[in-house]
Amino acid sequence: MKAFVFPGQGAQFVGMGRDLYENSPAAKKLFEKANEIIGFKITDIMFGGTDEELKQTKVTQPAIFLHSVISAIVLGTDFQPNMVAGHSLGEFSALVATKALTFEDGLKLVAQRAFAMQKACEQTPSTMAAIIGLADEKVAEICTETEGIVVPANYNCAGQLVISGEISAVESACTKLKEAGAKRALILPVSGGFHSPCMESARAELETAIRNTKFSEPICPVYQNVDAKPHKNSAEIQDNLVAQLTSPVCWTQSVQNMVADGATHFTELGPGNVLQGLIKKIAPKTIF
């Protein structure tokens, strides 16, 4: 069975999507439409901007979404998934690719999500850190014992968990985690503490937009971040999307469940191959 996966923030690079734009008239049309919808020429930044410009949350998220979704659309009849999943932002790409959302509505939600998250980052100084080489349960336990807001945010693969929260709490947790045996506890170059209670104001803002957007049943099950389970019911999908901003990304569990449900071939659509690397660690026998 074929599974398609869609990356999240961090996969971006300058030049992303240029090949699609130059080689596919359909892709070019969608990129130009995106420029109109979001009100600035995101293609200029994607194809020839600076790393700093591309790293702004309000640019990064729509850019990755566009690269991922347009890659799926350009595949045409070769895009016939039995199941899909997206990592954080990638969940929106997965929902558009499987026709649960229109291209226009998906892009508008992603743009609103990015602006809301950027605003939340400015209101509450927060960050994230990658913890390498420690059991997930131990990381979660130390987060609970640390003063302030710090929680597990991304279950990426065994031995690689990202924590998120207030800057001082994340720094304190990193010290404790290294003392507990973590090989690395690395503060990430991100603008805020995504997938933590620090994103509550963004969650509330995005909920209104999600509730006011029409969702349809996707063409195949979408394994969602909040519970790692397959969903086709549009109301459930909306509820899970609302919860996603302040909940951990259960990527390890999602891949395990997809494999248990029959996935043998995985294809990553979007910039980079970060998810490929994670999936190979979670399920070494899968094919790309």
pLDDT tens-digit series, residues 271-288: 999 999 999 999 998 888
The list of the chain residues with pLDDT below 50 reads none
Told to judge if 195 belongs to the known catalytic residues of this protein, a careful annotator would answer: yes
pLDDT tens-digit series, residues 62-104: 999 999 999 999 999 999 999 999 999 999 999 999 999 999 9
Among 68, 88, 126, 196, the one annotated catalytic? 88
Q: What is the pLDDT of residue 286?
A: 87
Among 67, 87, 195, 231, the one annotated catalytic? 195
| Residue whose tokens read 């449900």 | 261
Provide DSSP, 235-263.
HHHHHHHHHHTTS-B-HHHHHHHHHHTT-
Domains detected in the chain: 2-122+197-282 (3.40.366.10), 126-187 (3.30.70.250)
Angle separating helix axes 274-282 and 251-260, nearest 10 degrees: 60
- Is the Cβ–Cβ distance between 204 and 240 less than 8 Å? no
Told to judge if 88 belongs to the known catalytic residues of this protein, a careful annotator would answer: yes
Residue 26 Cα distances to 75, 231, 267, angstroms: 11, 29, 21
What's the pTM?
0.96
